[in-house]
Amino acid sequence: MNYKNLILDLDNTLYGYDVPHKSALTTVLDSFSARFEISKEDTLQSFNVSRQKTHLELPSRAASHNRLLYFQKMLEYHGLNSMYYALEFYEIYWDTFLAQMSLFESVADYLENHKAKGGKICILTDLTAHIQYRKIEKLNLMDFVDFLVTSEEVGVEKPHPYIFTRALQKLNCTASEALMIGDSWQKDIVGANAMGIQSIWINHKKEERTVTENIREISRFEEIATNGK
């Protein structure tokens, strides 16, 4: 799998999402509970309800992932004025999250080598553009990434074909000239496969799937660099 054009998922593909998220969410919930003297159980319940409500109201849209909307609805759930506090909790969450981020082993070397060979890289992601730009900056990926395509930009989420089409357009290549690397079977691999894009599936969770010849399955990103593209 030697390709000049790479399409990369970001979260849980280039870095681990779960640890920063858990740390950031715990920090926000503890702060929320202490600030308003609300039990941790009720605070967590209000977050879960607010997140679910946002997803139901904005299905398959980038805004459904917006933490600012979650915290706004949390405050409203408890009868509190979101004008005073929503942005504060949003910033606490992302400041904590970004401080905890780090690239998976071999990612920087792999991307640097790819760029040195004249390759292009497009990050393809479902989240909002603003925070994904912040993540790319925090991870020092600006020198490697040529393009970013977010679901906010195109109005649909992976595995919709249009979001993959936009990545191919920016890379100025055909599906057969690109390689997708991602951790989500449904969003990254199924989406790429439907477009005729070969892919590398980073199966962190050791899911059982039927892998076809145009899909390479690995368990860690560093296996790509070790065994080649």
Tell me the DSSP string of 133-191.
HHHHHHTT-TTT--EEEEHHHHS--TT-HHHHHHHHHHHT--GGGEEEEES-IIIIIIH
Task: Output the pLDDT for position 171.
Answer: 98
Same domain, 63 and 113: no
Question: Of 119, 147, 154, whose CA–CA distance to 133 is shortest?
Answer: 147
Q: For every one of its 229 residues, what pLDDT tens digit does the chain have, with 9 covering 90 and above?
A: 568 999 999 999 999 999 999 999 999 999 999 999 999 999 999 999 999 999 999 998 899 999 999 999 999 999 999 999 999 999 999 999 999 999 999 999 999 999 999 999 999 999 899 999 999 999 999 999 999 999 999 999 999 999 999 999 999 999 999 999 999 999 999 999 999 999 999 999 999 998 988 999 999 999 986 655 4
Where residue 213 sits, what CATH number does that domain have? 3.40.50.1000
Task: Output the pLDDT for position 146.
Answer: 98
Same domain, 78 and 175: no
Same domain, 179 and 152: yes
Last residue of a domain, one of 100, 127, 148: 100
Same domain, 107 and 174: yes
Same domain, 87 and 122: no
- Whole-angstrom Cα Rg for the chain: 19
Task: Output the pLDDT for position 229.
Answer: 47
Residue 146: CA atoms inside 13 Å, Cβ hemisphere, count?
19
Same domain, 84 and 132: no
Same domain, 69 and 160: no
Last residue of a domain, one of 81, 100, 119: 100
Is 11 among the residues known to form the active site?
Answer: yes
Same domain, 24 and 133: no
Same domain, 111 and 96: no
Task: Output the pLDDT for position 22.
Answer: 98
Same domain, 156 and 223: yes
What residues make up the domain containing 77? 18-100
Q: Which amino acid is at 182?
A: G
The maximal CA–CA distance of the chain, rounded, in angstroms, is 57
Last residue of a domain, one of 48, 82, 100: 100
What 3-state class would DSSP assign to 125? strand
Same domain, 94 and 125: no
Task: Output the pLDDT for position 94.
Answer: 98
Same domain, 113 and 81: no
Into how many domains does the chain fold? 2
